[in-house]
Amino acid sequence: MAKKTTILIPLIVLLFCCCSAREKWHTSTVIYFDTVCEIKIFGSSPQFRSSMEAVHGVFSKIETLFSPDSCELTSPEVLNLFRRALEIHKISGGAFDISIAPILKLWGFYERDYRVPSPGEIRRSLNRVGMTKIEAGEFEIRLPAGMEIDWGGIAKGYGIDLAAQTLRDLGILRGFINAGGDLYCWGSNPGDAAWKIGIKHPRQEGFLGVLSLTDEGAATTGDYQRFFIREGVRYHHVFDPQSGYPAHGKQSVTVAGPETTICDALATAVFISKQPDSILDFYPEYGAFIVDTEGRLSRAGREFTLRIYE
| 257: Cα separation from own chain's centroid | 12
Kindly tell me if the per-residue pLDDT of 109 is higher than 60.
Answer: yes
* pLDDT of res. 76: 94
How many whole angstroms separate alpha carbon 41 and alpha carbon 156?
19
Q: How many domains does the chain have?
A: 1
* pLDDT of res. 310: 63
* pLDDT of res. 11: 43
Q: Kindly list the distances between the CA atom of residue 306 and the CA atoms of 5, 13, 98, 199, 215, in Å, as whole numbers in the listed order.
A: 60, 48, 30, 9, 16
9 in any annotated domain = no
2 in any annotated domain = no
How much is the average pLDDT of 254-282?
97
18 in any annotated domain = no
First and final C-alpha spacing in the chain: 70
pLDDT per position as a tens digit, 221-230: 999 999 999 9
How much is the average pLDDT of 88-117?
97
pLDDT band at 70 (very low <50, low <70, confident <90, very high): confident
16 in any annotated domain = no
17 in any annotated domain = no
Kindly tell me if the per-residue pLDDT of 153 is higher than 50.
Answer: yes
Q: Which helix (H) or strand (E) holds 178?
A: strand 175-179
Q: Kindly list the distances between the CA atom of residue 85 and the CA atoms of 96, 124, 158, in Å, as whole numbers in the listed order.
A: 8, 24, 11
* pLDDT of res. 68: 84
How many whole angstroms separate alpha carbon 127 and alpha carbon 187?
47
How much is the average pLDDT of 180-205?
95
Kindly tell me if the per-residue pLDDT of 9 is higher than 70.
Answer: no
Kindly tell me if the per-residue pLDDT of 256 is higher than 50.
Answer: yes
How much is the average pLDDT of 108-121?
96
7 in any annotated domain = no
How many whole angstroms separate alpha carbon 106 and alpha carbon 117?
7
Backbone angles phi, psi at 233, to 5 degrees: -105, 130
Domain residues for the domain of 84 are 25-308
CA nearest to 133, candidates 91, 62, 82:
82
pLDDT band at 71 (very low <50, low <70, confident <90, very high): confident
* Average confidence score pLDDT of the chain: 92
* pLDDT of res. 69: 83
8 in any annotated domain = no
- For the domain that residue 64 is a member of, what is the CATH number? 3.10.520.10
171 in any annotated domain = yes
* pLDDT of res. 221: 97
* pLDDT of res. 12: 45
**Quick one: what percent of the chain has pLDDT higher than 70?**
93
The dihedral sign for the CA sequence 15, 50, 176, 192: negative
Kindly tell me if the per-residue pLDDT of 234 is higher than 60.
Answer: yes
Ranking 36-50, 58-72, 263-277 by mean pLDDT, the lowest is: 58-72
